[in-house]
Structures are given as C-alpha cells and as structure tokens.
Structure 1
Amino acid sequence: MFKNIAIGIAMGLLIMGGIWGLVHLMGDSRPEPELTAQSMPGDSKGVMDLICELDLDLDGQLALGIKENEPSRITMAQIDFEKKSGWYQGKISISESRTGTLQLMGTRLKIYRPAMFQRFGVMITGEEFVLDRKTGSFVQSLSISDGRKVNLIKGTCAKVIKPPF
C-alpha cells in the first residue's frame, strides 16, 4: 500500500514539474532588458577606441553660414570610462589635449566641454558629441551664445577591436 502511494506521489511530482517547466519555457514573454551602459560592463570600463566616418550636417552648415563644403572624413575618437572623459579628432573638435566630460545616458555616451571662442561669426559657449553605442550614431553639437544648439557634424562610429598595425 505504501509502495503504491509513494509511486503515485512521485508520478504526481514528475507531472507537476513537467507542467511547470513547460509553462515557464513557453510562457516566458518578458521583454528583453534594455541595453544600457550599466548592462555592458565590458564596455563601461577602461578605454574604448573608435573609428568614425563624419560629415558636416547640412542644417548646421546653413545655420552657421558655412560656405565651404567639407568632404566626409575618417577620424579617431576615444572614450575613457576611468577618467570619465573623451575626445575626437577634427577641425572643430573636443581634442585629445582638451578632453570633455563623459556622461552616461542609457546607450548614449555624451562628451561635453564648455568653450568660449568666436567662430563662424558667433560666440561658441560649449561643444559636445553624443555617441549611441547601440546604433553607432555620432552627432557633434555647438552651443551658441544666443541659446541655440546647432548640430554641426554627424556620422557613424565603430569600436576598434584590434588596431590594424
């Protein structure tokens, strides 16, 4: 009698376990967690070297009255998570010698540096670039003394995994 009860309990547990497993396997419809800087620990430590293909933004070019047409260019950029800073190369850039401050905003990395110089007939009070790690999109903006923020350069960046030399 006890043998039949024990077999019944064991079979009941096996059936319940199987049903529980199927429910969780088939019914797990939770959305994937959003990819954020905090969820990518490998990319939020050390230094991230980037190579970018950048162009002048037409709207920014018109807003600042820039007449020259700049060809697209390939340039380097770097994000240093330990120092919370970053830079990229270019004529109007946050240079390696005067890096900007890093701010993490989900999948976006924002590098900002206050400025005070005259260019394109306006006083520039700040410069920044935002890099979206999910899409590779790069946008460089200038803050103007009249309160406007003008997107001047846009493009795409990719992480350099192994230098080519």
Structure 2
Amino acid sequence: MLKFIAIGASVGALVMGGVWGLVHVMGEPGGPSADSQMTTTLTPGANKGVMDLICELELDLNGQLKLGITDKEPSRITMAQIDFEKNSGWYQGKIAISESRSGTLQVMGTRLKVIRPAMFQRFGVMIAGEEFVIDRKTGRFVQTLNLSDGQTVNLITGTCAQVTKPPF
C-alpha cells in the first residue's frame, strides 16, 4: 500500500514539473511576461511615438459631491492616447479631453499630464481648464477640472494600461 502511494506521489510530482516546464517553454522565448511587459512599456524613457491606453474610469465621489452631480454613473471602459511626437493627449468620455480637441502633454518623470484651457459652463459652474494625469508606474488616472473661482476638483479617477498589439 505504501509502495503505491510513493509511486503516485512521484508520478504526480513529475507531471507537475512537466506542466511547469511546458508553461515556461511555451512563453515568449527571452521575452518578458505579461506583468513585466506592462511595467516596462509604461516606464519613463519610452517617450517616443504614440501610446494607446485602455482605461477603466469612474466619477470621483468627492468631486461628484462638490459639483452637485446626482446622477449615478457606472464605471466605463474607454480609450486614451498619448502622442509624444505631437506633445498631445486625449481620452474618450462624456466629460473628456477629446481626440478632436486634444490637450498639451507635459512629461514629469513617471507622470504624463495633459492640459487644455477651457471656458464653458457645466454643473452650474464655469470651467476654466481641464487636465488629466496618468502615472506610468501605477497606471493611476485622475481628471481634474479647474474652476473659474480658483478651485480644483478631481472629477474622474481610474486605472489605465497600455494596449499592446498582438504579433499577428
């Protein structure tokens, strides 16, 4: 009886070792894992070309209360883009720095800040400017409205990750 248990344990260990080895062999040869790929593609120094992002965003509760927004807004999946060559950026949404009217990019270490002056009435206040910041280290997204009375309101928060194109 003990002999069969020992044989079963040995076969189980060999099978698990084989599966582990197969998983590592079938991965990209010499390439980074998905987790490390996201980290390396969002790190400072890669300030070339266009960075396409997908973001999950939601209204910030404090900003929502400050502006008197009573509607329930579900979180949304949306696209964003940073163009290092044009020094611009945008993201999609109802209250957004849109692709057709992109903002000016400022690179501050791991933070990408896109700013656009504005002058429009919304939520009963005059909006004097809008901006969003994406931290490449954490993926954290924050959209801020600058009000004409000098107040700053964080309105939308969330997380972004870089879209990587498949090799086919």
Normalising TM by the smaller chain, what interval?
A: 0.7 to 0.9
105, 108, 132: which one aligns with 1:105: 108
Give the % identical residues. 77
- Structure-1-length-normalised TM-score: 0.74
Task: State the 1:162 CA deviation.
Answer: 1.1
Output the amino acid matched with 2:80. Answer: A
- Structure-2-length-normalised TM-score: 0.72
Equivalent position of 1:139 in the other structure: 142
23, 46, 58: which one aligns with 2:61: 58
Equivalent position of 1:129 in the other structure: 132
Equivalent position of 2:96 in the other structure: 93
156, 160, 163: which one aligns with 1:160: 163
Label 1:106 to 1:40 Cα distance change in 2 as closer, same or farther (>3 A): closer
Q: Unmatched 5+ residue regions in structure 2?
A: 1-38
Superposed CA offset, 1:47-82 (max 9, x none): 000000001000000000000010000000000000
Equivalent position of 1:84 in the other structure: 87
Q: Unmatched 5+ residue regions in structure 1?
A: 1-34
RMSD after superposition: 1.6
Larger radius of gyration: 1
Equivalent position of 1:68 in the other structure: 71
Runs of 4+ deviating beyond 3 Å:
none
Output the amino acid matched with 1:107. Answer: T
